[in-house]
Chains A and B, each alone.
Chain A
């Protein structure tokens, strides 16, 4: 190797370190294989399952603390074949395993949306676990950073004043027709990663752990969630009410508080 080549390599290394040249994805692949092993063990996961799932997320998020994402299934939920669980994994978040949606075959179609925090440029994965136990994954890369340690709340006073307030929002329903509904709860969803300079300590985690959505006595969705979910957690979903009934949402948080809301249809 000539001296010139050595200098060139040294400069390229410098440029890479300074971030002028993006290194390859091998480190990301390593991270995922570790996460896969931790969450799914040796189970086989079919990758690029674009025939089954569509994961939508902005390529470049505008606000790392509020990144709207959605997951749709391209196949209907039927009693014989349905998505039993939808796992959401954000590789580089402090708690990568971000959400587990337990889904009923009663949902005619899987069409879910929520808002998440993103801590670094990262891969995000939606993994469908079918009722036969098979796993199918789609992946998106999202550019955003700082969402998990970002200061909570632009107006903390207003946010704390409405803590626990809930809304169920939906259009007028036609029985038998699919309709969109949104459950949203006012909650700081403190990640435990926000540092309070005054007390020289971290603001204790206080986040929504579980949201259960029932219609007419049947559970449609149960979400187990963590600190990747944005402040004021929101779940939007599609369902097709076949008869009149009551839609209820019950929220449990990490301080064992329970909040409920319902809506008659």
Chain B
């Protein structure tokens, strides 16, 4: 009997602690003057991590604050907002979404009261519209209680690949650049001119296996141009922020994507099959990435059906 009750209480305790993380645990790291980010964990989204798996953060100008990606749940959005309030009382004037993936946008609703402009790539609204229903279904399964209060907020300020958008936060200009299809078909980067800090969104994954949801060819092209940006600091979509002099993060992602592409092209030219590609291509990268098993074969599948039409 005592054993039975201790199992029961363990179960109840686990449920209790699985509910919202405390603000004190939500650590923001300074990157440059007035720029902070919270580093996501290298896990899949769960109720326990409240979907806080991507890098999110903010830039403080003299007049207002720009949030760059809002988190993987409403709860993470609230934690981020509280953290901002501990640094500054300036209003949040922009919430910038680097792309549609839920770990980057589900915190948007936490900033509604600030009445900011929501900013994204011109193709972000369409991407959100086509995925919204899918996300709701998927995320009620994976996020559990952290999925509550989900609200998708459409962006109202759009950026086109032809014309980068400059935003002024008060003596602080940030430049938003939209890309043609790469990691997704609507990636956006943010560059802080004063400190030369580049937020890459998921155009750059560090440590964590990248997830291909756009075009492998387009992504390699985008990376080859991004690596030449004159920056001092880089904040990737996942993984630790780093000094721009160190290009190892860029090189690792380029190596992964080109390895996958060359492997698949070889199989396609040899009239081989998608099954062969999924089983063999890029397996030498396994030790080099977190969550490799969870995403690699999916990346090969996506790249194969793209490269089949070259």
Contacts and interface: CB of A to CB of B under 8 A. Distances in A.
Nearest to B297: A62
Contacts of B17: none
Contact of A151 (B8, B130, B278): B130
A151 B271 contact: no
B240 to A, nearest CB: 27
Nearest to A186: B309
A180 B272 CA distance: 10
A196 B130 contact: yes
A165 interface: yes
A38 interface: no
A122 interface: no
Contacts of A195: 130, 132-133
For the residues of B in contact with A, the DSSP-based class is helix
Interface in A106-143: 113, 115
B131 A151 contact: yes
Given A8-B4, A62-B301, A70-B275, A154 B214 contact: yes
B215 A154 contact: yes
B150 interface: no
Contacts of A252: none
Nearest to B218: A155
Contacts of B126: 198
9 contacts: A7-B8, A62-B278, A66-B302, A68-B273, A154-B212, A154-B213, A157-B185, A186-B309, A196-B130
Given A151-B127, A151-B131, A197-B130, 9 more contacts: A68-B274, A146-B138, A154-B184, A154-B212, A155-B218, A180-B271, A194-B130, A196-B129, A196-B130
Smallest CB-CB A-B distances: 3 pairs:
A197-B129, A62-B298, A151-B130
Interface of A: 4, 7-8, 11, 56, 62-63, 66, 68, 70, 113, 115, 146, 149-152, 154-158, 162, 165, 167, 169-171, 180, 182, 184, 186, 194-198, 231-232, 234, 236
Interface of B: 1, 4, 8, 11, 125-134, 137-138, 181, 184-185, 212-215, 218, 271, 273-275, 278, 297-298, 300-302, 305-306, 308-309
